[in-house]
């Protein structure tokens, strides 16, 4: 019977009114049921050999068993072999499996078995007695569901005694219900991705589809039709070649598998550990994994086998193999290229091709490397450097003029200055030697060399000679000598010692001058002025 069964009260009322001689139409109006239903129930009551009044000891179950017994197994069907519904339920989780194929296999063993329609009816009636979450069909190795438990676990700091709450990550496979769980400090991106990596390693493979909740670490912007997946989460999914299909917002049935697993973990694992005190995350996870192993080995209540047995039989052979190397956590940034063709990543500056000045680029940052991408193409990579304020520069990223400037070395500058003359070369050497870093003297030397464009070469050489004699080897001093014409004065007229100080000069008094002077004592005057005030 396809429609919903009537309550015993209405069945009694139908039988009572019929015994009083009322028509089916009148009974239908009185009981507010369809006439066809009234006719069907009266037929079934008559076929079951019942009449009004029913025996007083008859219950609803007894009445249903009497009037519906004809619809179960009739006549010669009693001798036919019933299909094993638990086996059918398990086999239907395999990819490509159908009831038609299983029925054909059933007929090969039982040639006098049920027809296809009755075969399906038997399985569907059996399937109604299984939990609602088990009635959905999940193919082996297809989906993995992930979520965080609502309960947390207290974690005690061994030094301060401060208690923090550890989050509990839960993952389950669709076909076998195999469960993995672990405790993490937070639900933030790094812990979220690291839990996935350890889950894949625990299962020994990767499913085709990943079904998470809509937490920020997984989904940047939830949407029913086109959700925005977190870039780091999408990067991990691409690494493992797995598709991320988030559950719809406020639709827990989309991830009913993990919702049930979370409930099981809370009741069977977290509740069992409620009186334990944990001082480290490692000890906490060891305790969780010990209870988890027992949970996966525990037999099902309504199905044959256990989660571990189903995992070994269904999911494990269907999982995709793990990559040869472990996934490395990556963060993503979208900086703008500065005018000096460098980008700022956590306070350090990395170069990119100078053609991208003013444009935005995508940056993938791992523990070891910095990868720069533009229009999904890698354009630069650097070894990660966490020193703030410093630069990491690739020479090939510079404009040609900057590359030539970078190629300048002290020897090249000095050699270039030597083309003007030996004194100019000595002056350049002295300028570079006077700086803390040689590069600080490059600009002065270039200015010195450029003076030969405004003045005759021999004048620049004479000015450098005079600057060396006076120990004033700077660009400004040499330019001043040329501007005032001092370079034209003979160098022999200067009475100069090696230290660069004049031995005798009319403005130099000498130490004897100060020794022979008579100084007036003004202390009494100052004292009197203070008293008068």
CA–CA separation, 193 and 245 (whole Å)? 16
Strand partners, 377: 374
Alpha helices in 54-115 (DSSP H): 60-67, 85-91, 99-109
- Identify the pLDDT of residue 495: 47
Whether the CB-CB separation of 478 and 448 falls below 8 Å is answered with: yes
Whether the CB-CB separation of 363 and 335 falls below 8 Å is answered with: yes
- Identify the pLDDT of residue 242: 94
CA–CA separation, 232 and 193 (whole Å)? 8
Give a three-class secondary structure readout of 367-396: CCEEEEEECCEEEEEEECCCCCCCEECCHH
| Beta carbons within 10 angstroms of residue 504's beta carbon | 7
- Identify the pLDDT of residue 405: 64
- Identify the pLDDT of residue 530: 37
- Identify the pLDDT of residue 513: 56
pTM higher than 0.85: no
Name the helix (H) or strand (E) containing 170. strand 163-173
- Identify the pLDDT of residue 526: 38
User: What is the topology classification, in CATH, of domain 143-318?
Assistant: Nucleotidyltransferase; domain 5 (3.30.420)
Please give the C-alpha separations between residue 159 and each of 32, 178, 517, 533, in angstroms, as whole numbers.
73, 37, 76, 69
Q: What DSSP state is assigned to residue 80?
A: S
Domain parsing of the chain, residue ranges: 8-71, 75-129, 143-318, 331-397, 405-493
User: What is the topology classification, in CATH, of domain 8-71?
Assistant: Arc Repressor Mutant, subunit A (1.10.10)
- Identify the pLDDT of residue 389: 87
How far, in whole angstroms, is CA 436 from its chain's centroid? 46
- Identify the pLDDT of residue 91: 80
Which residue spans within 279-429 are E strands per DSSP? 331-333, 342-345, 348-351, 362-365, 369-374, 377-383, 391-392
Q: What is the mean pLDDT of each run of 10 residues along the chain (533 residues)?
A: 66 84 84 85 80 75 68 51 81 77 86 86 76 62 94 93 95 94 95 96 95 89 80 93 89 86 92 92 96 93 86 94 94 92 93 93 94 93 92 88 71 86 91 79 84 89 90 90 87 50 55 54 42 40
């Amino acid at each position: 019977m396809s429609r919903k069964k009537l309550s015993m009260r209405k069945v009694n009322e139908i039988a009572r009114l019929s015994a009083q001689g009322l028509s089916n139409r009148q009974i239908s109006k009185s009981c507010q049921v369809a006439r066809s239903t009234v006719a069907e129930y009266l037929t079934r009551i008559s076929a079951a050999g019942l009449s009004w009044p029913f025996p007083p000891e008859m219950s609803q179950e007894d009445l249903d068993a009497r009037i519906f017994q004809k619809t179960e197994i009739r006549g010669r069907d009693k001798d036919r072999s019933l299909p094993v519904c638990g086996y059918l339920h398990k086999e239907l989780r395999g990819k490509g499996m159908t009831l038609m194929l299983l029925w054909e296999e059933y007929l090969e063993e039982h040639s006098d078995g049920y027809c296809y329609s009755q075969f399906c009816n038997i399985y569907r009636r059996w399937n109604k007695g299984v939990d609602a979450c088990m009635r959905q069909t999940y193919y082996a190795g297809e989906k993995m569901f992930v979520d965080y438990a609502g309960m947390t676990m207290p974690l005690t700091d061994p030094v301060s005694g401060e208690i923090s709450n550890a989050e509990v990550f839960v993952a389950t496979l669709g076909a076998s219900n195999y469960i993995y769980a672990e405790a993490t400090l937070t639900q933030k991106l790094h812990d979220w991705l690291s839990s996935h990596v350890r889950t894949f390693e625990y299962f020994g493979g990767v499913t085709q589809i990943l079904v998470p909740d809509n937490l920020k670490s997984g989904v940047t912007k939830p949407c029913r039709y086109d959700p925005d997946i977190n870039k780091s989460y999408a990067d991990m999914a691409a690494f493992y070649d797995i598709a991320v299909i988030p559950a719809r917002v406020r639709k827990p049935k989309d991830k009913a598998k993990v919702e049930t697993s979370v409930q099981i973990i809370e009741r069977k694992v977290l509740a069992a550990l409620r009186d334990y005190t944990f001082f480290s995350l490692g000890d906490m996870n060891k305790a969780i994994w010990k209870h988890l192993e027992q949970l996966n080995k525990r037999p099902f209540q309504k199905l044959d086998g256990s989660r571990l047995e189903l995992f070994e039989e269904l999911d494990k052979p269907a999982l995709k193999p793990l990559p040869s190397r472990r996934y490395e956590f990556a963060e993503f940034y979208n900086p703008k290229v500065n005018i000096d063709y460098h980008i700022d990543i956590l306070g350090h500056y990395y170069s990119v091709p100078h053609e991208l000045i003013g444009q935005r680029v995508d940056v993938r940052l791992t523990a070891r490397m910095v990868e720069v991408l533009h229009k999904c193409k890698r354009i630069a990579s650097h070894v990660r450097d966490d020193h703030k304020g410093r630069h990491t520069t690739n020479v090939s990223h510079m404009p040609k003029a900057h590359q030539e400037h970078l190629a300048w070395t002290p020897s090249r500058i000095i050699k270039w200055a030597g083309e003007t003359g030996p004194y100019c070369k000595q002056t350049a050497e002295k300028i570079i030697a006077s700086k803390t870093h040689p590069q600080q003297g490059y600009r002065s030397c270039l200015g010195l060399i450029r003076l030969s464009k405004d003045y005759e070469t021999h004048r620049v050489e004479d000015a450098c000679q005079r600057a060396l004699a006076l120990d004033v080897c700077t660009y400004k001093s040499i330019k001043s000598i040329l501007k005032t014409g001092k370079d034209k004065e003979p160098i022999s007229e200067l009475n100069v010692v090696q230290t660069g100080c004049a031995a005798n000069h009319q403005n130099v008094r000498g130490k004897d001058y100060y020794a022979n002077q008579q100084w007036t004592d003004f202390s009494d005057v100052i004292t009197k002025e203070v008293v008068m005030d």
